[in-house]
């Protein structure tokens, strides 16, 4: 269409993305806000129940506790050995100091191995520290058992690359064929960020329906325009009670500054359209119109679609299995 405008075979076209090359040969009116690209994946499943005992603390905290017990045991043992060397008393074993440190964290400490006042003070501070840690752990454990946590969803391109790392496998992703042409192609191919380059290098090609079916298999994400994919999911893959197995990322990314109308240079209708569109934008009617069109399209598609059953995962408590009827059409 840009070629028709450049050769003056047409006066204007609608829904055109803005690029530096196009703006040099066309007059452009910004009409629609920039549409974000989002990542659609399966909704994140809950964490396995067997990991509930370690989830209250992050791995850094667990590592710090392990190092802390060893360091405390070494310091305590050295102090006691020094005192025993001075007083010629009975030496204590290093294993006993470590067992005392671990026992205090488990709220079942063995007998106090200290032989002097400094050792008793060090043991007392460790008991206080253990009380704080165990109280925090118990509170966090109750919270995790009450409200079941879920795995982290795919929100950004960095998440895709991180999960897709490794040789011969990992997470996969794809997009539609028409999103690898024009502005989207320039965005991926000319971007300097290594993450975007890796996403482009491993990009697979599916249309929307085939891509969403691939998402349902797991281990795959579909990259598409936010409103476009929301319409498809809401109209074809959402049950009457609002449930859908898909998760659309909340952190989209923009591939162009705006979408609008393009006019050939010198077109007589450019200025009247520019004033009209700017007036509509100032009143907020364009934003309202877009939302109204999306809502109408979803209702229209659902009203003419055919129902089908899709099995879903067991619920988080394992009490029952559900199957939801969702809207599908050819």
Pairwise CA distance, residues 11 & 143, whole Å: 63
Question: pTM here?
Answer: 0.60
Q: What is the mean pLDDT of the chain?
A: 78
**pLDDT-based confidence at residue 148 (cuts at 50, 70, 90):** low
Same fold, 1-33+259-294 and 35-45+151-255: yes
Token pair 């196009």 is at which residue?
A: 22
92-124 pLDDT tens trace: 777 888 888 888 888 887 777 776 777 788 888
Range from 68-72, 167-171, 315-319 that averages highest in pLDDT? 68-72
Per-residue tokens: 36: 């974000």
The class of domain 35-45+151-255 in CATH terms is alpha beta
Would you tell me how many other CB atoms lie within 10 Å of the CB of residue 16?
24
Per-residue tokens: 150: 């879920």
Homologous superfamily (CATH) for 1-33+259-294: Periplasmic binding protein-like II (3.40.190.10)
pLDDT at 87: 61
pLDDT at 165: 67
Per-residue tokens: 90: 């009975």
Q: How many CA atoms lie within 13 Å of 74's alpha carbon, on the beta-carbon side?
A: 5
Q: Where are the alpha helices (DSSP H) in 106-156?
A: 117-146
Pairwise CA distance, residues 27 & 29, whole Å: 7
Q: How far is CA 87 from CA 74, 81, 92, 248, in A?
A: 20, 10, 13, 70
pLDDT at 174: 93
> What are the sequence ranges of the domains in the chain?
1-33+259-294, 35-45+151-255, 49-146
Q: Where are the alpha helices (DSSP H) in the chain?
A: 2-6, 20-25, 59-87, 94-105, 117-146, 157-163, 182-190, 194-201, 208-217, 226-236, 270-283, 285-304
21-56 pLDDT tens trace: 787 888 888 877 778 899 999 988 776 666 667 777
Please classify residue 232 by burial: count the beta carbons closer than 10 Å to its beta carbon, then call 0-12 exposed, 13-18 middle and 19+ buried.
buried
* Alpha-carbon torsion angle 73, 79, 83, 88, nearest 10: 40
Least confident of 52-56, 76-80, 236-240: 52-56
Closest CA to 223 of 266, 180, 192: 180
Q: What's the average model confidence in pLDDT over 252-257?
A: 84
Per-residue tokens: 125: 């501070």
Those residues with Cβ within 8 angstroms of residue 324's Cβ, 6 or more apart along the chain or in another chain: 239, 241, 243, 309, 310, 312
Pairwise CA distance, residues 89 & 226, whole Å: 75
């Amino acid at each position: 269409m840009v070629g028709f405008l450049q050769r003056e075979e047409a006066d204007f076209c609608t829904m055109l993305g803005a690029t530096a090359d196009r703006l040099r040969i066309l007059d452009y009116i910004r009409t629609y806000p920039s549409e974000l690209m989002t990542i659609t994946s399966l909704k994140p499943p809950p964490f396995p129940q067997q990991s509930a005992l370690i989830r209250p603390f992050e791995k850094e905290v667990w590592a710090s506790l392990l190092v802390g017990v060893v360091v405390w045991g070494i310091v305590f043992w050295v102090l006691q050995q020094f005192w025993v060397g001075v007083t010629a008393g009975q030496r204590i074993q290093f294993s006993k100091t470590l067992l005392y440190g671990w026992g205090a964290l488990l709220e079942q400490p063995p007998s106090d191995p200290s032989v002097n006042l400094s050792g008793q003070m060090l043991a007392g501070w460790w008991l206080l520290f253990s009380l704080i840690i165990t109280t925090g752990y118990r509170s966090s454990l109750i919270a995790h058992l009450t409200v079941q946590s879920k795995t982290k969803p795919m929100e950004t391109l960095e998440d895709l690359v991180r999960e897709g790392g490794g040789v011969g496998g990992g997470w996969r992703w794809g997009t539609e064929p028409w999103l690898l042409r024009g502005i989207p192609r320039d965005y991926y191919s000319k971007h300097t960020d290594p993450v975007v380059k890796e996403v482009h290098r491993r990009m697979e090609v599916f249309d929307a329906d085939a891509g969403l079916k691939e998402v349902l298999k797991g281990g795959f994400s579909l990259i598409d325009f936010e409103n476009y994919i929301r319409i498809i999911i809401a109209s074809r893959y959402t049950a009457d009670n609002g449930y859908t197995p898909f998760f659309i990322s909340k952190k989209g990314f923009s591939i162009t500054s705006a979408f609008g109308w393009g006019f050939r240079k010198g077109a007589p209708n450019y200025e009247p359209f520019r004033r009209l569109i700017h007036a509509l934008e100032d009143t907020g009617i364009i934003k309202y119109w877009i939302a109204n069109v999306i809502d109408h399209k979803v209702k229209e598609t659902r009203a003419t679609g055919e129902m089908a059953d899709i099995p879903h995962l067991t619920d988080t408590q394992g009490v029952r299995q559900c199957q939801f009827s969702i809207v599908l059409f050819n």
